[in-house]
Amino acid sequence: MTPLRAVPTPGDDAGQAHADLAPVEHVLQVLADEVGYNPATDPEALLLCALMWSNNTGGVSTEDHRVATILTADDFDNPAYRRMFTVIADLITGSQPYDPASVTAALMRSGADGAKDSALRRRLNEVITTGADGLAVAHYAGIVLSQSYRRSIHTAGQAIMQGAEELPEEDLFEQMLDYGRRQRAAFNRLNAFRQPRP
């Protein structure tokens, strides 16, 4: 597409010109969505940063292990952070170093050195330099779990509303019970994590 192609001349198909601009509009929307994002105020970014620096600065490794075994990638809303957490958790549970250089190397080994993962590498650099205290791992993990729990309530609510419109009447109550059991299990997991360690 040439710059002039985006400006239709009289008689041109304006719809086609707009379709030609769709990839550009998508990039502009992504950039607009990221304006104002600050990883220093994002609990997910802070948790990942704290985990990596706790390995380097004498953080409480038992807490790191507890976080790596209780939290899952699904607890993270940001897809890049899900991937980073998976790598960090694998390093922790495998008794491998999980400092920033080791995490970066593990991501590169997993194939994150290509152009498609440039956004992931940018996010990783933002996380590494967020400045989270390595001793605050459990604190940030609690916030991430809390946010994950709230998102799951929202998702369950949407599914129940959709079910109210689409499911047969005889299935509605059982669907609501099923979601209720899942949410109770998620709430119990959050509360168990918050219990003070002996």
**Tokens 């491998």 map to which residue?**
96
pLDDT value for 3? 46
Residues in CB range of 124: below 8 A, 6 or more apart: 80, 84, 103, 104, 107
Q: Is the pTM of this model over 0.85?
A: no
Alpha-carbon dihedral 128, 132, 136, 139, rounded to 10 degrees = -90
* Domains of the chain, residue spans: 39-136, 145-194
pLDDT value for 45? 97
Q: Which residues of the chain have pLDDT under 70?
A: 1-35, 56-60, 197-198
pLDDT value for 101? 93
**Residue 74 buriedness (CB in 10 A; 0-12 / 13-18 / 19+):** exposed
The topology under which CATH files domain 39-136 is DNAb Helicase; Chain A (1.10.860)
